[in-house]
A and B are shown apart, each in its own frame.
Chain A
């Protein structure tokens, strides 16, 4: 307890310098004291100290850049290292609050979370590249087209899709219709893949097409959905 109190009395610059030294020892696989770095993380997340966040960013930038380079999807995701490093820190900044911080007892668990944020940032780039709306940009509104991806923008886009999905869901008659629409349009599965993924739900591929036919006819005629989907069909 007294040790914790002493740590909390340290000036930020002193704490940061000690964290940097201990991190270097950690990198060199030598015995090190993790408490300084954990306190720096605590100040950033629990106290909301932006200067502590800046120190953490400086401290861990090289490590995070190394993680980005090692990710198997990095080379093809189309984003540069510094953008992905910033996205990873931004995700951690938004996602961790004081109550969540209590789940991280040590520095390795925090670094493991930051590393997960790297994976998440790269996955977001991959998801954007695979998104049919990106492949066919004419389906985007003017507000969406050409705008740079941000965490807030991604959240907003996801909420809009979830709202639309709930509206479509309310117009489906049963579980098999839900599986067909969900599998076909949310997951991009072909009817043949649908039969394989949800084995036992459909007699054959022709049945999937018949269900599709019924559902598409119903959705196309629905005036409420026409507004949400802005059909041009």
Chain B
């Protein structure tokens, strides 16, 4: 009896053949156009159901995380627990989260700290040289001005100068110019002394800033913009 003369396979047999090739069904399909079309329709139907129902009832990854951290609202907690009991994929994802949080410390290893900061939006500026007076914009170029210091952080360059405050004896004025930081957007400059705020000023349209009435000391200067900060450590004023 040739395969074509055998009874047509049922849909269940065709479905089994689509998953794991059944030699008898394969032989029948070779000679039966109708069954080949039926098998193809079933294949498309299964593929469409899988595409449209994939993980249809699974909680979001965030809900699974909140379940693990026990911060999920109570009305959802029981529902997610029931789901986990019958969903191996979600159980695997929660197990991954447990393992991940067990091996990833909240604080980075000390050795990684510098590398982490390098790739981040908190940029530490390096002092590269002292500027010549000619490097400054005319408004900041005084006849007797000492050479200012230049700091660099990626494309951004800060030229900073500290001088005695002519209006207040014993106090100082810090003036500066920022270039190459346009992409950071509107910024302000802050000065910090021993962890306390010592002054702040907006950065002007041409990148200029000035802070007056400062005591002598070693400051941290922060150029703060919406998406990033550039920090200058040990900015000595009044030395």
Residues of A within 8 A of B (CB): 11, 13-14, 17-18, 20-21, 26-29, 54, 57-59, 61-63, 65-67, 70-73, 81, 91, 95, 100, 103-104, 108, 111-113, 115-117, 119-121, 123-124, 127, 131-133, 136, 139, 154-155, 158, 161-162, 164-165, 168, 179, 181-182, 184-191, 197-198, 205-206, 209-210, 212-213, 216-217, 219-220, 229, 231-233
Chain A residues near B122: list those with CB within 8 A.
20, 58-59, 61-62
Chain A residues near B52: list those with CB within 8 A.
133, 139, 161, 164, 229
Count A-B contacts at CB 8 Å. Answer: 210
What CA separation (Å) do A182 and B53 show in the bound complex?
A: 8
User: What are 13 A-B contacts with C-beta separation under 8 Å?
Assistant: A21-B195, A62-B116, A112-B69, A116-B65, A119-B101, A127-B61, A136-B47, A136-B51, A181-B53, A191-B19, A212-B15, A233-B42, A233-B48
Nearest opposing residue in chain B for A120, CB measure: B61
Chain B residues near A111: list those with CB within 8 A.
106
What CA separation (Å) do A58 and B45 show in the bound complex?
A: 49
Chain A residues near B89: list those with CB within 8 A.
187-188
Chain B residues within 8 Å of chain A by Cβ, number: 69
B68-95 contact mask (Cβ, 8 Å, vs A): 1 or 0:
1101000000000000001111000100
* A17 and B222 form a contact (CB under 8 A): yes
What CA separation (Å) do A66 and B197 show in the bound complex?
A: 30
Asked if B134 is an interface residue, CB under 8 A from chain A, the answer is: no
* A206 and B53 form a contact (CB under 8 A): no
Chain A residues near B50: list those with CB within 8 A.
132, 184-185, 188
Nearest opposing residue in chain B for A13, CB measure: B190
B8-24 contact mask (Cβ, 8 Å, vs A): 1 or 0:
00111101100100000
Chain A residues near B62: list those with CB within 8 A.
91, 95, 116-117, 120
A20, A66, A197 pick with most chain B CB within 10 angstroms: A66
Q: Which of B51, B54, B64, B106 contacts A115 (CB 8 A)?
A: B106
CB proximity of B55 to chain A, nearest CB, Å: 6
A103-B53 contact, Cβ under 8 Å, with A13-B197, A17-B197, A61-B120: no
Chain B residues near A65: list those with CB within 8 A.
116, 119-120
10 closest residue pairs by CB, A with B: A62-B120, A165-B56, A161-B56, A116-B65, A123-B61, A209-B12, A62-B116, A213-B12, A120-B61, A139-B51
